[in-house]
Chains A and B, each alone.
Chain A
């Protein structure tokens, strides 16, 4: 049944290809098929939370078997996919309507379906070859989606960086599967029967960290992520940021589940990588003034938080503490859900702003909440949730990870890990508040900074409804976390059944029910205070006038704090990593001319490490260029001669 669902999703865009370029029928068929497939998949995934689905059929591909395995761990990752993908598709009906995008609408819909199907396939794959088929389908479909607007230079460049990064990641995965195959003699993507030596195990772990970490966007392997997320159409960004990068986390969790006695160093590595990604991800985000690039860097941050959770789990496994495993893993996996929900919400909100104003540049926006009140409210929900603030869902998952870290500090072996991880997570949280106050405040509050938003208005139902669903889901998980806890207990059991038995239920470990009480108390007190304020302001005279501004009676929007000026103090604090580029104004002479100030924060890793290295690589590769003729016959000769040599050598 899951295969039928995947097929429906995969070919949802196909009928549209046969229809006209601006055909409304084609896009509707695509959405209906995709939604139907996802609902079917949702049913299967919910069922798989209780009982695993296993299927094993022969397949003609060498080493491959159509081995499907959906356990609770797969299901936990499938659920956000089957929620976000259809919502994005519905959003796309209006956002990327066929009549406005004749040249690339069909292509986008075809590959959007393939992208979602590729993700689903790799999540259910129990065989390395099948996994890689799904992985590559996803990677290539995502490349096509990212480069939808391939007439723009920046988009092509972002797509190219993504393609190279994903190739390198896949290379590491090939090596990882080869080591697993060498040790076990099977291509199954399942726990090797304790046949791995310590060196091979470490090699598998490091290769998984590189291969899956590239996809997930862990610092410093994140170089592809900001450009790709910013360039893709917003509903594709939502799917990529919300779900696609989580496949890297899925792979990492799956590989980690193979090892029952991991060395302490693995957990420490994951925690450190997660903390670095988290802090620097959000620090880079603060420096951005492109709304979608800012959101993309927040994906790096949230992947960091998830990885910290996984790190806590691995530390717990190393020292034999099932409670730490359960808290870290459940927190990390719940954050996978939460991030899928609020990041998709934020990208869809950013898409609505882009749709209405035609710009992603923060410093050209402002005051949109009066023109787009519903979008503003949805974005505010997403912003509060992503900062991990109560009473929304982000707080619940961060609390679980905090509980793991704090419990770690009470043990002697993990004191240092916990005592560094706890303030790191606090720093990530406060920086996120700074960043989203800026993003929400600059776009929606204050007064407009340019005439771009003069005619902006809320989008139609097809774009608003998906945002509403996601916002409600954020609030629901935040106010009633007990409702989703069983899913994560089962996922922990799928990770390691002994751990799940030893750690007990999640309700006993974490105060999920009390969170509902405190959340309700917060809302109730807020309502009381709001009623009081409303009564006092209506009884007393409440006049309206211009902003007081310390008595300056003619404030102009140009005097407002901009996104860059708001971020400046923080960017200065992190200048050692961000390396902001500043073009200060030159003021001279007795009568200075108008001057301009410009600053931006480029990606340090990409610009200072990856690009120089790849240029050096290209210089070396020039020597081999004579091999490349562009002549297909000669390439076939190469392939044939390599094969003949291999056969001769292996005899």
Chain B
């Protein structure tokens, strides 16, 4: 066994380095399916590096909250990643109830993102903020309800145990419930990260956007940090789905982490395929899909009641 400090360092390094790659793979997948060549998968890294060097225009309407939002977004996502078991190995920080902290850290990031949007005084950004808080009100209960199934199955309140080696055994006992949980959490991941069918990150119609419209006024380094923070969020939330859906736990750190990284890349391909194959939902229909995710998780809880 490697000393836990080394494991933690690998954990942190993966978290910090990998996320933009996921975004790159999603874009590449979409390009391939559309018959285009597309940008290289490393493009997001270059974009972020470029933005960090660029100048920016900061609106005279704004206060310090405007620049605090990317900072809080990154800090919250990194702390959340510390609670996450990768490949079934114990997370650097784990305790009873860490799943609540995990969910609430994204609440903190959302508080500041939407506040920064209101800070610009623009109607577009207010619109995006209102949509973001509305949809998250439905996504978050689904996330916690999905995790309740794992809490019940493993009798543990910590992500490291819930998503640890026990997951494989649970697939033998309660496969139906876990399938429902995976689908429900995958919907939550798409919604929280503003992917199609909830939101189109590449749209040019500001009126219809959610996340992108809230950051319309950020530029340069602040925008770079926001893009990086969004990639981190995709990575951290996606890792939960992967941890349940791919229950390979050999006990060897290298193999498990390799499988984990491979599964994460697979998840990005899947997101890319969905984005190519489906259209955005009308805004009015978004709540029904999220309520559907809640209900799926509810059925999963009912299945675990035996």
Contact = CB atoms under 8 A, between A and B. Distances in A.
Interface string A546-577: 11111000010101110001111110010000
A338 to B, nearest CB: 14
B206 interface: yes
B232 to A, nearest CB: 11
A403 interface: yes
A429 B141 CA distance: 10
Contacts of A388: 104, 107
B55 A543 contact: yes
B220 interface: yes
A565 B126 contact: yes
A383 to B, nearest CB: 8
A510 B63 contact: no
A461 interface: no
Contacts of B280: none
A384 B111 CA distance: 8
Interface string A426-448: 11011101101100111011110
Nearest to B294: A423
A548 to B, nearest CB: 5
A415 B143 CA distance: 17
Interface residues of A, number: 86
Contacts of B103: 426
Contacts of B155: 410
B57 A548 contact: yes
Contacts of B52: 536
B179 interface: no
Interface in B84-103: 93, 95-98, 100-101, 103
B59 to A, nearest CB: 4
Contact of B301 (A407, A419, A544): A419
B126 A560 contact: yes
B184 to A, nearest CB: 12
A407 B157 contact: yes
A532 B95 CA distance: 30
Interface in A440-472: 440-442, 444-447
A52 interface: no
A55 interface: no
B55 A530 contact: no
A557 B60 CA distance: 13
B121 A437 contact: no
Nearest to A425: B144
A516 B222 CA distance: 29
A525 B78 contact: yes
A521 interface: yes
B292 interface: no
A610 B55 CA distance: 60
Q: Is the interface of A mostly helix, strand, loop or mixed?
A: helix
Contacts of B140: 426-427, 429-430
A548 B59 contact: yes
A402 B97 contact: yes
Contacts of A415: 152, 301, 305
A442 to B, nearest CB: 7
Interface stretch (B30-38, B130-138, B245-253, B264-272): B130-138
B4 interface: no
Given A419-B301, A540-B220, A549-B122, A430 B111 contact: no
A105 interface: no
**Which of B79, B121, B157 gathers most chain A CB within 10 Å?**
B121
Contact of B58 (A430, A542, A567): A542
Given A436-B111, A437-B133, A547 B120 contact: yes
B57 to A, nearest CB: 5
A410 B155 CA distance: 6
Looking at chain B's contact residues, the main secondary structure is: helix
A302 interface: no
A370 B61 CA distance: 9
Interface in B203-228: 206, 216-217, 220-222, 224-225
Contacts of B65: 369, 380, 445
Contacts of A567: 130
B110 to A, nearest CB: 6
A565 B63 CA distance: 22
A340 B263 CA distance: 47
A557 B122 CA distance: 8
Given A536-B220, A568-B130, A526 B71 contact: yes
Interface of B: 52-63, 65, 67-68, 70-72, 74-76, 78-79, 82, 93, 95-98, 100-101, 103-105, 107-108, 110-111, 114-115, 118-127, 129-131, 133-134, 136-137, 140-145, 148, 151-152, 155, 157, 206, 216-217, 220-222, 224-225, 287, 294, 298, 301, 305
Interface of A: 366-367, 369-370, 376, 380, 383-384, 387-390, 395, 398-399, 402-403, 406-407, 409-410, 412, 415-416, 418-419, 422-424, 426-427, 429-431, 433-434, 436-437, 440-442, 444-447, 509-511, 514-515, 517-518, 521-522, 525-526, 528-530, 532-533, 536-537, 540-550, 555, 557, 559-561, 565-570, 573
16 contacts: A390-B104, A426-B144, A433-B136, A518-B82, A518-B101, A522-B79, A533-B67, A533-B221, A543-B55, A543-B58, A544-B59, A544-B60, A547-B61, A549-B216, A560-B122, A565-B130
Given A509-B96, A514-B93, A542-B57, 18 more contacts: A367-B61, A387-B111, A399-B101, A423-B294, A426-B141, A440-B115, A445-B62, A445-B63, A517-B93, A518-B93, A529-B75, A542-B55, A543-B56, A548-B122, A548-B217, A549-B122, A561-B130, A566-B126
